[in-house]
Structure 1
């Protein structure tokens, strides 16, 4: 059972700044330790491969009721150079884009409004083992031989090219309407929302789709998690592929940086294609340098704190004892802090609590189940900031500007009062929680190390056996060669004797 703690923006800000005094901060990004971005590319599956199959839907409105507005993502005119440039502004520690002294990041609430999945946004996906995914998917889609649709000798993901053939075969069967809906939705989940390899639907994305079908979770948080994991990976190593829902990220970006053009004033812009027209007329010839100049100018430009299509919603600030939100994706988990961007959601920007934020991330390797159980428990207790009444101009607390600009620490102001000691106890409890998480991660890494050592031992044993067999074969060959020489000598002797 989920227990929500609802507070107002003002109450949350006072509490956050009070606790921040004793907790301190997660350190800001130090550029000296981050490699330059050299080779980054966007995994963008060709939406034109999916678009023709939308005409096979018996009732598009029914599809939208089942899967939200994901069909419209197929029409988003993504500019890869814009996304590649955007990565330069990503802070992998604070999980946000930083433009000068401006922090911005996509939120669960924003992605939920854009996708309009029918379920509660707080009913999130929790990673499941993928062993049974193929079998369950076969039953759901009415497929007898799933091996025909898989890659890599029946061990990898699903090939969309083969699923296209299945869609064509089912299009004229009235009794297969639901299966047609599901196959197309699976394609959107695996190629657009959570892409992996071009033209391939990963088993992880298929697992997310199955959980959506079985338990009606809302995938928005998982989509956001994959976005942050991908951005972090590319920024930290300086190269790689952006494997996330690029159309959603692009819509989010242009919604905040463009305010004069009324392309988002009507939320039904998807159907009117004003974004496509605007992109082709304004940005089609933009280079990466052009985008960098545009994004660097955000603090001085007339950008949107609040996206024009964003509704007045209550927003999630923390889970359990964490002052931020732990997200579970299809390939890993990661944290993000909505408190950094309260102005995006119509709130008052206060000093956020970021302790432990940077350390909380990982992929599904080794013994990760304990960490996932902790996250699942955290999602049972949510901190919700109530929506504002009316439209509020973006404002900040009195102390926020000095904090954001790297001002003095407020630790010096702390006295040894009873109230302060109580706050420190609360902080110690949260630190113990962080220690517990780190211990779980350490255990997972240790089990992974043991597993790798066992694998190495097996490989060494196999190598030794092969070498012994090779030596044995070599000795047998030498022996056979000697025996052959003896036989040849004997034959020569007897042939000579026979002549006499």
Structure 2
């Protein structure tokens, strides 16, 4: 177990070095002369999705299904058991730099990169040097859900909801598919989508946001 952890740390150091080198070569993305300042006041909502149903589903899967999941999506299932320290979260938000999308401590900017997450969570679908991509022919939310779930257009369209400024699909609908879909491959994909939507990039409670399906749809591309 210790060796596996050390290997992950070494991988993470390598991608961090690659990321820093690339940033130095490409330069800052903000306009010249821009001065970045931390916000004087930030409102924090620490509400979280209830993940027990996801944990129960994972616990009932046999070892073959779990290995298939690991091969496609790495170690993201371990995120289901991580407890968020709300007090630490509230403290760190004070240093969140909205302009740079990173934490600013004095003259140091710090934020985990996609490449670092890839190394830590062993996500094989994310190719390190192809993390950023442009969508040439973007599909609709309905089409993306159809591709991921294997369900018909009427089924998907009837379950899409509007939450604030974005479209979502309720977790209950995805849960039912994970439990009853006849295609095991689809069950695994939908379960992974749910982790991305409820744990990694949550927006509306108990719903998976359209932006998450956009990311998920491009993982292999």
TM-score by length of 2: 0.70
Deviation at 1:137, TM superposition (A): 2.6
Alignment of 1:4-403 (within 5 A): 26-29=34-37, 34-37=39-42, 39-42=43-46, 44-54=48-58, 55-56=60-61, 58-100=64-106, 102-118=108-124, 119-126=126-133, 128=135, 131-144=139-152, 145-152=155-162, 156-170=167-181, 173=182, 176-212=183-219, 216-217=220-221
CA RMSD, Structure 1 to Structure 2 (Å): 3.2
The verdict on how the C-alpha distance between 1:195 and 1:130 changes in structure 2, with shifts beyond 3 A counting, is farther
Q: Distance in 2 between matches of 1:115 and 1:125?
A: 18
1:441-500 alpha-carbon deviations (Å, 9 max, x no partner): xxxxxxxxxxxxxxxxxxxxxxxxxxxxxxxxxxxxxxxxxxxxxxxxxxxxxxxxxxxx
Deviation at 1:136, TM superposition (A): 4.0
Q: Distance in 2 between matches of 1:43 and 1:110?
A: 26
The verdict on how the C-alpha distance between 1:93 and 1:61 changes in structure 2, with shifts beyond 3 A counting, is same
Q: Distance in 1 between matches of 2:79 and 2:40?
A: 33
Deviation at 1:122, TM superposition (A): 1.7
The verdict on how the C-alpha distance between 1:179 and 1:81 changes in structure 2, with shifts beyond 3 A counting, is same
Deviation at 1:184, TM superposition (A): 0.3
Secondary structure (helix, strand or coil) at the match of 1:86 reads helix
Secondary structure (helix, strand or coil) at the match of 2:44 reads strand
The verdict on how the C-alpha distance between 1:100 and 1:165 changes in structure 2, with shifts beyond 3 A counting, is same
The verdict on how the C-alpha distance between 1:103 and 1:163 changes in structure 2, with shifts beyond 3 A counting, is closer
Q: Distance in 1 between matches of 2:171 and 2:199?
A: 12
The verdict on how the C-alpha distance between 1:46 and 1:126 changes in structure 2, with shifts beyond 3 A counting, is farther
1:103-132 alpha-carbon deviations (Å, 9 max, x no partner): 433233322222211142121243547553
Maintained 8 Å contact 1:96/1:104: yes
Q: Distance in 1 between matches of 2:188 and 2:73?
A: 9
Maintained 8 Å contact 1:167/1:180: yes
The verdict on how the C-alpha distance between 1:203 and 1:36 changes in structure 2, with shifts beyond 3 A counting, is closer
TM-score by length of 1: 0.33
Structure 2 runs not aligned, ≥5 long: 1-16
The verdict on how the C-alpha distance between 1:126 and 1:181 changes in structure 2, with shifts beyond 3 A counting, is same
The verdict on how the C-alpha distance between 1:91 and 1:142 changes in structure 2, with shifts beyond 3 A counting, is closer
